[in-house]
Structure 1
Amino acid sequence: MTLSKIHILLIEDNETDAILVQSDLQLAMGDQTTVVHTERLSSALELIRKQPFDLILSDLTLPDSDGITTINRLRESAASIPIAVLSFRNDEKLAIKAIKAGAQDYLVKGSLTEGVLARVIRYSIERKRLEEGSRKAQKRFQTVFEKAPLGIALINLQTGKYYDVNPKYACIAGRSVDQLLRLNQSDIIHPDDVLSYRKEIELFIHHQSHDSKIVKRVLRPDMSIIWIEMSLVPFESMEGQEICYLCMIEDITERKRMIENLRHLTTHLQDVREEERTRIGREIHDVLGGTLTVLKMDLDWLSKKITADPMHERVKSLYALTGEAIETARRVSVNLRPNVLDNLGLYGAIEWLVREFEQRTNIKCYLESVISAISCNNKNFETSIFRIIQEIFINITRHSRATRVDIELIEDDTDIVITIKDNGVGITESQLLNPESFGIIGMKERTEQFGGTLEIAGTPSQGSVVTLKIPLTVAVTNVGELIHD
């Protein structure tokens, strides 16, 4: 592999000094360097405009320039080329001034050696390589920044001031880049979301999170409203201990609309299913149950009229089977739509569900409540809450291997809180995240219908805890004495 030549511009008006420097360069670097010599600064500036150089070696005192002015003029025309000053004065103050003016090194002519020159040249090459790498990285970043499909901004979260904004960010916000640079981030947020936005930003800054996602509405100048998902990542420290953050935004309006449509569809399907279950339950209870009851009465009558065996035994057997069919029809009807939910309301239905679960599974249940009655301003909400609790009991039966379940109903400032805790094996993280855990998915979907929250947590060998919060805005309660079951 052939190494490229190192091009050096030597500015020296003393012919003897110029010959000595070139000789030292030849000894230090051999044929790796090419040297262009000039005696005046003006001619040097002309050469710099015509061809590239890797290093400038310059005397401070020239026929057309003197002192620090020489460095200043070279810096104006050759900002990226390393400059090493050649001087006959071993003056520390002058050396400091030269370095501050932009020189990379200060060399005393009488002390020049092959090693010193080799070091200066290696430094100039390495500096140029690093600067070139930095320029390429900056160019790559700028290209990504400008062409990225996401909206990207560099922002000071403490003040909300933008340092830089890419075109996609401006497009999403419905403003120009120049307009955004004169605004704060909160200026583009919908007025109803500004307070929650500031609280989330403050929480993010104080907790020093590595990244965060915030979903908020943006109000555009044309009064149109869009939803954005905002990702925040610490980027670099600025002056005054300020931190510049990388803020990436994505327009999720269409996604939100699709999710909302899907939620409405899910709610509609659940309502239709509940209506159908109610209809079928009533048909089983009123029609099939009534027919079986009449049949049982007739069989009872026949058993009294027919006393001769084996006919009597056959009628008694049919009488017993009819009783079992009536019980099965009653149980199916209750599972489809418990009458207690319509007759006694939500709280009575919860009490009935707890007693029925305890009797059916032999798992000891303890119900504690400071609420004597719960009802919702929407009957579909009551059904959803009942089905959630029913699903929790089903999961306990199938998976927990518990021997005890504690149910607590309390009321705080904003919610009715129903906590169900078992002493079983404890639900695992993988079970919670399993996309085929349709029972959990269904419970969460039902919870979203009435604006509540559902939290599920498990500890190995210590059981699971399910916490259901019902907003007081959808619930009507009566506070009563503590109830123990």
Structure 2
Amino acid sequence: MFTPRIHILLIEDNEADAILVQSDLQQAMGDQMTVTHVERLSSALELIQQESIDLILSDLTLPDSDGITTINQLRKHAPSIPIAVLSFRDDEKLAIKAIKAGAQDYLVKGSLTEGVLARVIRYSIERKRIEESNRKAQNRFQTIFEKAPLGIALINLQTGRYYDVNPKYASIVGRCVDELININHTDIIHPDDFQSYQYDISLFLNNGFADYKLEKRVLHHDGSIIWIEIFIVPFEAITNDEICYLCMIEDITERKQMIENLRQLTAHLQDVREEERTRIGREIHDVLGGTLTVLRMDLDWLSKKINAEPMHERIESLYQLTGEAIETARRVSVNLRPNVLDNLGLLGAIEWLVRELEQRKNIDCTLESTISNLSCHNKNYETTIFRIIQEAFINITRHSNATKVDVELFEDEDDVVITIKDNGVGITESQILNPQSFGIIGMNERTQQYGGKFEISGTPLQGSVVMLKIPLVIAATCDGELIND
């Protein structure tokens, strides 16, 4: 356990005591140690600078030093060497003072035994190694704390008090370290986020989470606003009722702005795409559909005028093909931009989608609505809701193997809530989180575009549930009709 030849420095001015202690040390440790004996503190301090010492055994009363001053001087010149005090006084108060001054142990002359000395040597050296290890760990932590690229603070979340703050934290929130130490940690939160921040902190404290992450806005001292990501973990218990938490923050303002820019770009592209789909759908319906209809009418007229075969049969064939082309043009036009969305409004379009799913895919569908009529002046709202439901139906027909679909519409305060339930195989979490699930990603992005909430969940062999909640700024409510201003 111990390296050979532990070097012990014995500071003792009484020759008889020194011989007795060295004899006891020899019996306790044998050839595992060497002992250097000096009589004065000054000699010991010179020796410490010249040789490597593993343990100091020192009397408190020396010719050139006395009492606790001896320990103070040794600790000053040899901070990393363990010290054991030798004293003729069996004094508990003096022993406590010596330990507080930095000694690792207190020994009474005359009561030393082989076992006691061996224990003192082992324990003193080991305790000092532990202290040194803790000191180095503390220094490493402090270096990381001061130089970390993340903002770090030690905070009491119950009282709001800062214990310590690193320079990066102060820089991110736009305040100096001394200022933060003297304020509550909630004082930097933007007023509009204060209530939600308090709720999140209460949720974290009351549920005993191992860690917690949240995003909030911070109000700089100069009035500017930034977004920060906060990561919180319990750090250490100060008392039974007081816990220090480690809070790490990162400025995510630029990231938030990039996400918002991408979201706006996505919304713009969706609007452009919808406009283009509407234009193309109208062209197909009005121009191509109209031309095909005229052609079919002429073919019908020709079939009545020409009875000779095989000309009549050829005209009848063209007449049938033209009818199929008209039906195809109608279906393409409807898929691009259903007329029901413009003519019947959102609720009528949803009813049309449900009937289409039931008729075309032979799936039993039900639609329940507590809203007798839902229409919005903002057509983008209607299109967004329509497209999300349409995509949900596409996913059901492609992946669920469902035989029944239930759709429900109702009001929830200022929101319109739409739930779609099927009895299929049930979507899995891996499918929901799959980055290649573009349908789900698109539905979620469309919902977020208008500050809504989109959720999808599944139970194996029991089906899936899609919940869509989109806020509508309601200007008036009359006979169940919601009008978005």
Q: TM-score, normalised by structure 2?
A: 0.91
SS in 1 for 2:370: strand
Contact 1:373 1:478 in 2 (8 A): no
Contact 2:104 2:127 in 1 (8 A): no
- Cα distance, 1:139 vs. partner? 2.1
Q: Quick one: structure 1 residues 477 and 399, their matched pair in 2 at CA, closer, same or farther if it must change by over 3 Å?
A: farther
Aligned pair 1:136/2:118, yes or no? no
Aligned pair 1:122/2:142, yes or no? no
Contact 1:375 1:475 in 2 (8 A): no
Contact 1:5 1:34 in 2 (8 A): yes
Aligned pair 1:166/2:163, yes or no? no
Contact 1:371 1:479 in 2 (8 A): no
- Cα distance, 1:145 vs. partner? 1.6
- What one-letter code is carried by the residue in structure 1 that aligns with 2:446? R
- What one-letter code is carried by the residue in structure 2 that aligns with 1:134? N
- Cα distance, 1:240 vs. partner? 4.3
Aligned pair 1:348/2:329, yes or no? no
- What one-letter code is carried by the residue in structure 2 that aligns with 1:332? V
- Residues 169-199 of structure 1, C-alpha deviation per residue, up to 9 Å, x if partnerless? 1111122222222222212222221221111
Instruction: Write the distance in 1 (CA, Å) between the matches of 2:392 and 2:302.
Output: 46
What is residue 446 of structure 2 aligned with on the other side? 446
Q: Quick one: structure 1 residues 201 and 348, their matched pair in 2 at CA, closer, same or farther if it must change by over 3 Å?
A: same
- What one-letter code is carried by the residue in structure 1 that aligns with 2:270? Q
- Residues 55-97 of structure 1, C-alpha deviation per residue, up to 9 Å, x if partnerless? 3323355566666676677667766543333344556676567
Aligned pair 1:198/2:211, yes or no? no
Instruction: Write the distance in 2 (CA, Å) between the matches of 1:54 and 1:177.
Output: 41
Q: Quick one: structure 1 residues 27 and 389, their matched pair in 2 at CA, closer, same or farther if it must change by over 3 Å?
A: same
Contact 1:370 1:479 in 2 (8 A): no
Instruction: Write the distance in 2 (CA, Å) between the matches of 1:410 and 1:479.
Output: 14
Instruction: Write the distance in 1 (CA, Å) between the matches of 2:411 and 2:337.
Output: 27
- Cα distance, 1:316 vs. partner? 1.2
What is residue 277 of structure 1 aligned with on the other side? 277
What is residue 313 of structure 1 aligned with on the other side? 313
Aligned pair 1:220/2:220, yes or no? yes
1:25-174, aligned counterparts within 5 Å? 25-39=25-39, 53-62=53-62, 81-88=81-88, 103-174=103-174
Q: % of aligned pairs identical?
A: 79
What is residue 263 of structure 2 aligned with on the other side? 263
Instruction: Write the distance in 1 (CA, Å) between the matches of 2:230 and 2:479.
Output: 42
- Cα distance, 1:103 vs. partner? 4.2
Moved more, 454-463 or 317-326: 317-326
- What one-letter code is carried by the residue in structure 1 that aligns with 2:125? I
Instruction: Write the distance in 2 (CA, Å) between the matches of 1:4 and 1:479.
Output: 96
Contact 2:152 2:247 in 1 (8 A): yes
- What one-letter code is carried by the residue in structure 2 that aligns with 1:111? S
- Cα distance, 1:38 vs. partner? 4.1
Quote the RMSD (CA, aligned, Å): 2.7
What is residue 368 of structure 1 aligned with on the other side? 368
Structure 2: gaps (5+ residues):
none
- Cα distance, 1:438 vs. partner? 0.7
Instruction: Write the distance in 2 (CA, Å) between the matches of 1:478 and 1:191.
Output: 36
What is residue 184 of structure 2 aligned with on the other side? 184
- Residues 127-160 of structure 1, C-alpha deviation per residue, up to 9 Å, x if partnerless? 2222222222222222222222111111111122
1:371-382, aligned counterparts within 5 Å? 371-382=371-382
Aligned pair 1:245/2:239, yes or no? no
What is residue 410 of structure 1 aligned with on the other side? 410
Instruction: Write the distance in 1 (CA, Å) between the matches of 2:330 and 2:99.
Output: 96
Contact 2:165 2:181 in 1 (8 A): yes
SS in 2 for 1:451: coil
- Cα distance, 1:219 vs. partner? 1.4
Contact 2:45 2:74 in 1 (8 A): yes
- What one-letter code is carried by the residue in structure 2 that aligns with 1:321? L
- Cα distance, 1:410 vs. partner? 1.4
Contact 1:89 1:108 in 2 (8 A): yes
Q: Quick one: structure 1 residues 93 and 178, their matched pair in 2 at CA, closer, same or farther if it must change by over 3 Å?
A: closer
SS in 2 for 1:111: coil
